[in-house]
Every structure is written in C-alpha cells, then in structure tokens.
C-alpha cells in the first residue's frame, strides 16, 4: 500500500487537483504494481514562500508549477520498476493536468509491513 503526500503551491482549480491525483494514482497502478482500489493520498497546497525549492538543482528549470510527490511504500521495488514509474508518471502528469516533467520531483521511501496499521490498531503482520 503506497501512501502519497503531494505538495504544490496554492491556486490550482479543483479540476487540476483531481487530475493531479488521478494521474498519480494511475501511474502507481500501471507502473508500480499497486491495486486499483489502493488509493491513499494527501495533497498539501502551500502559500508562496512555504514550498521552497531550487529552480535548477539536479534538473529544471522548475517553475511555480513545481510538485513534490513523496511515496511511502510497504515493499521494495526494483530500480527498473522505480525508473519506469518515474517516466510513466511524468508522461501522465504532462498529459493531465499539464505539468512539465521538469516540475515533477518524486521521492520513494520504503517501510516494513509491521510499520503499517490499516485500522483498529492492528498491524498487517500476524502477531506471534
């Protein structure tokens, strides 16, 4: 189960936000081996000055449409799968909602299964 935290500047329409969310989820399903109904996202919209980024560091030039996507995943993926996900993601985001690939930054963190609880205080790992 990946959990995505998405950060961008305030000012986008609800349609833009929905398209952003949908494209990220579609890429996770199609290129990161995530079930269709496994969708957990939090979208943070920031005032100018609250989302600080270098416009040229390791990419760019980045614009005010910069989006930071942090994916926390419950299992490891191969470098090939991760690279395929990155490429697929920027293609989908470029198509809808129209984000330039240079404005997309992604981080993937991996946790162990016992570090997740889906509700009722239960871990997904059976107790010994």
pLDDT in tens, 41-57: 999 999 999 999 999 99
pLDDT in tens, 74-94: 889 999 999 999 999 999 999
Q: Domain 3-115 adopts which CATH fold?
A: Macrophage Migration Inhibitory Factor (3.30.429)
Strand 67-73 vs strand 3-9: parallel, antiparallel, or unpaired? antiparallel
User: pTM of the full predicted structure?
Assistant: 0.92
Domain ranges of the chain: 3-115
C-alpha distances in Å from residue 53, one per residue of 3, 42, 61, 101, 108: 22, 20, 11, 15, 18
- Tell me what pLDDT residue 113 has: 79
| Measured distance CA(92)–CA(115) in Å, rounded | 30
Count CA atoms within 13 Å of residue 99 on its CB side.
Answer: 29
Which member of 2, 14, 35, 97 is catalytic?
Answer: 2
Active site residue 61: no
H or E element: which one contains 17?
helix 14-31
């Amino acid at each position: 189960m990946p959990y995505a935290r998405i950060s961008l500047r305030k000012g986008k329409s609800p349609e833009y936000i929905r398209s952003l969310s949908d494209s990220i989820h579609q890429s996770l399903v199609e290129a990161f081996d995530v079930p269709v109904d496994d969708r957990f996202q939090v979208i943070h919209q920031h005032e100018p000055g609250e989302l600080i980024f270098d416009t040229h560091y390791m990419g760019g030039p980045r614009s005010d449409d910069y989006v930071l996507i942090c994916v926390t995943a419950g299992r490891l993926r191969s470098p090939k799968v991760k690279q395929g996900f990155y490429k697929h993601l920027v293609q989908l985001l470029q198509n809808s909602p129209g984000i330039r690939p240079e404005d997309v930054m992604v981080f993937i963190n991996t946790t162990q299964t016992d570090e997740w609880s889906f509700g009722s205080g239960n871990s997904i790992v059976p107790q010994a």
